[in-house]
Amino acid sequence: MDRREFLILGSMPLAGVAGPAMAHHGWSGFDQSRPIYLAGKVVEVAWRNPHAELIVEVPASLAVPADLAQRPLPNQTASVNGVDLLRRAVVPTRKDARWEIELAPIFRMNQWQVPEPKVGDPVAMVGFTFKDEQGEAVMRVEYLFIGDKAYGLRSSPA
Protein backbone atom coordinates (compact mmCIF):
# COMPACT_ATOMS: atom_id res chain seq x y z
CA MET A 1 0.00 0.00 0.00
CA ASP A 2 1.45 3.36 -1.01
CA ARG A 3 1.12 6.60 1.00
CA ARG A 4 -1.84 7.86 -1.07
CA GLU A 5 -3.85 4.66 -0.54
CA PHE A 6 -3.02 4.77 3.17
CA LEU A 7 -4.33 8.35 3.46
CA ILE A 8 -7.51 7.60 1.51
CA LEU A 9 -8.31 4.47 3.51
CA GLY A 10 -7.36 6.16 6.77
CA SER A 11 -9.73 9.07 6.16
CA MET A 12 -12.75 6.95 5.18
CA PRO A 13 -14.05 6.49 8.74
CA LEU A 14 -14.16 10.29 9.09
CA ALA A 15 -16.41 10.66 6.05
CA GLY A 16 -19.42 9.36 8.00
CA VAL A 17 -18.80 11.86 10.79
CA ALA A 18 -18.61 14.98 8.63
CA GLY A 19 -22.34 15.10 7.74
CA PRO A 20 -23.81 14.99 11.25
CA ALA A 21 -21.08 17.22 12.65
CA MET A 22 -21.90 19.94 10.10
CA ALA A 23 -25.54 19.96 11.22
CA HIS A 24 -24.56 20.87 14.80
CA HIS A 25 -24.89 24.59 15.55
CA GLY A 26 -22.84 26.34 18.24
CA TRP A 27 -24.25 29.06 20.50
CA SER A 28 -22.38 31.93 18.80
CA GLY A 29 -24.69 32.02 15.76
CA PHE A 30 -27.84 32.45 17.84
CA ASP A 31 -29.23 35.83 18.88
CA GLN A 32 -29.37 35.45 22.66
CA SER A 33 -30.64 39.01 23.05
CA ARG A 34 -33.98 38.13 21.44
CA PRO A 35 -35.82 35.14 22.92
CA ILE A 36 -38.53 33.66 20.74
CA TYR A 37 -41.53 31.50 21.57
CA LEU A 38 -42.63 28.52 19.51
CA ALA A 39 -45.36 25.95 20.06
CA GLY A 40 -46.69 23.19 17.89
CA LYS A 41 -46.86 19.46 17.20
CA VAL A 42 -43.83 17.20 16.95
CA VAL A 43 -43.47 15.69 13.46
CA GLU A 44 -39.98 14.13 13.83
CA VAL A 45 -37.78 13.08 16.77
CA ALA A 46 -34.02 12.41 16.79
CA TRP A 47 -33.11 11.47 20.37
CA ARG A 48 -29.31 11.31 20.01
CA ASN A 49 -26.08 13.22 20.55
CA PRO A 50 -24.58 15.75 19.99
CA HIS A 51 -28.05 16.95 21.07
CA ALA A 52 -31.62 15.78 20.82
CA GLU A 53 -33.58 17.33 17.98
CA LEU A 54 -37.22 17.73 17.06
CA ILE A 55 -38.99 18.95 13.97
CA VAL A 56 -42.05 20.90 15.09
CA GLU A 57 -44.94 22.04 12.94
CA VAL A 58 -45.99 25.51 14.08
CA PRO A 59 -49.49 26.90 13.42
CA ALA A 60 -49.82 30.10 11.37
CA SER A 61 -51.79 31.60 14.28
CA LEU A 62 -48.90 31.26 16.73
CA ALA A 63 -49.02 33.80 19.58
CA VAL A 64 -47.16 34.19 22.87
CA PRO A 65 -49.48 33.11 25.71
CA ALA A 66 -50.47 35.98 27.98
CA ASP A 67 -49.36 34.00 31.06
CA LEU A 68 -45.97 32.88 29.69
CA ALA A 69 -43.92 35.03 32.11
CA GLN A 70 -45.88 33.61 35.07
CA ARG A 71 -45.08 29.96 34.30
CA PRO A 72 -43.05 28.27 37.02
CA LEU A 73 -39.48 27.54 35.98
CA PRO A 74 -37.14 24.91 37.43
CA ASN A 75 -34.02 25.76 39.39
CA GLN A 76 -30.83 25.05 37.46
CA THR A 77 -27.12 25.41 38.11
CA ALA A 78 -26.63 28.05 35.38
CA SER A 79 -27.52 31.61 36.23
CA VAL A 80 -30.28 32.23 33.69
CA ASN A 81 -32.86 34.95 34.24
CA GLY A 82 -35.71 32.76 33.07
CA VAL A 83 -38.51 35.10 34.08
CA ASP A 84 -36.92 37.87 32.01
CA LEU A 85 -36.51 35.54 29.01
CA LEU A 86 -40.16 34.53 29.20
CA ARG A 87 -41.25 38.17 29.62
CA ARG A 88 -39.27 39.26 26.52
CA ALA A 89 -40.18 36.29 24.30
CA VAL A 90 -41.80 37.10 20.97
CA VAL A 91 -42.99 35.02 18.04
CA PRO A 92 -40.45 34.89 15.24
CA THR A 93 -40.93 37.28 12.33
CA ARG A 94 -40.34 34.48 9.83
CA LYS A 95 -43.42 32.36 9.15
CA ASP A 96 -41.97 28.89 8.54
CA ALA A 97 -44.45 26.08 9.16
CA ARG A 98 -41.69 23.70 10.34
CA TRP A 99 -38.82 24.42 12.69
CA GLU A 100 -35.77 22.36 13.61
CA ILE A 101 -35.57 22.37 17.40
CA GLU A 102 -32.15 21.82 19.01
CA LEU A 103 -32.38 20.55 22.56
CA ALA A 104 -29.62 19.64 25.01
CA PRO A 105 -27.32 16.60 24.84
CA ILE A 106 -28.93 13.32 25.91
CA PHE A 107 -26.96 13.32 29.19
CA ARG A 108 -28.54 16.66 30.13
CA MET A 109 -31.99 15.54 28.97
CA ASN A 110 -31.63 12.51 31.25
CA GLN A 111 -30.54 14.72 34.19
CA TRP A 112 -33.79 16.67 33.79
CA GLN A 113 -35.77 13.45 33.22
CA VAL A 114 -37.23 14.92 30.04
CA PRO A 115 -39.56 12.38 28.45
CA GLU A 116 -38.81 11.71 24.79
CA PRO A 117 -41.61 13.39 22.84
CA LYS A 118 -43.49 11.28 20.33
CA VAL A 119 -44.73 12.29 16.90
CA GLY A 120 -47.99 14.19 17.37
CA ASP A 121 -47.17 15.47 20.89
CA PRO A 122 -47.71 19.17 21.56
CA VAL A 123 -44.65 21.06 22.82
CA ALA A 124 -43.77 24.69 23.47
CA MET A 125 -40.41 26.34 23.97
CA VAL A 126 -38.52 29.56 24.48
CA GLY A 127 -35.10 29.89 22.94
CA PHE A 128 -33.10 31.60 20.26
CA THR A 129 -32.85 31.55 16.50
CA PHE A 130 -30.12 32.81 14.21
CA LYS A 131 -29.25 36.48 14.23
CA ASP A 132 -31.57 38.42 11.89
CA GLU A 133 -33.55 35.15 11.49
CA GLN A 134 -31.49 34.36 8.38
CA GLY A 135 -30.86 30.86 7.06
CA GLU A 136 -32.67 27.79 8.32
CA ALA A 137 -35.65 27.85 10.69
CA VAL A 138 -33.71 26.58 13.71
CA MET A 139 -34.30 27.23 17.40
CA ARG A 140 -31.83 26.52 20.18
CA VAL A 141 -34.04 25.82 23.21
CA GLU A 142 -33.53 27.42 26.60
CA TYR A 143 -36.82 26.25 28.17
CA LEU A 144 -38.90 23.33 26.95
CA PHE A 145 -42.55 22.96 28.01
CA ILE A 146 -44.18 19.55 27.83
CA GLY A 147 -47.66 19.51 29.33
CA ASP A 148 -47.55 21.66 32.46
CA LYS A 149 -43.87 20.91 33.15
CA ALA A 150 -40.94 23.20 32.25
CA TYR A 151 -37.37 22.00 31.69
CA GLY A 152 -34.35 24.33 31.77
CA LEU A 153 -31.84 23.01 29.27
CA ARG A 154 -28.83 25.32 29.80
CA SER A 155 -27.42 23.39 32.76
CA SER A 156 -28.17 20.58 35.18
CA PRO A 157 -30.95 20.83 37.78
CA ALA A 158 -30.01 22.69 40.96
Instruction: Kindly write down the DSSP assignment for every residue of 123-143, as one continuous string.
Output: EEEEEE-BGGG-SS-EEEEEE
Distances (CA, A) of 121 to 1, 108, 135: 54, 21, 26
Cα–Cα distance between 148 and 80 in angstroms, integer?
20
CA 51/CA 65 separation, integer angstroms: 27
CA 109/CA 51 separation, integer angstroms:
9
Give the pLDDT confidence of 51-103 residue by residue, as tens digits. Answer: 999 999 999 999 999 999 999 999 998 888 999 999 999 999 999 999 999 99
Structural domains for the chain: 26-152 (2.40.50.140)
Which of 12-16, 18-22, 111-115 is predicted least confidently?
Answer: 18-22
Give the three-state DSSP class for 95. coil
pTM: 0.81
- Residue 17 pLDDT > 60: no
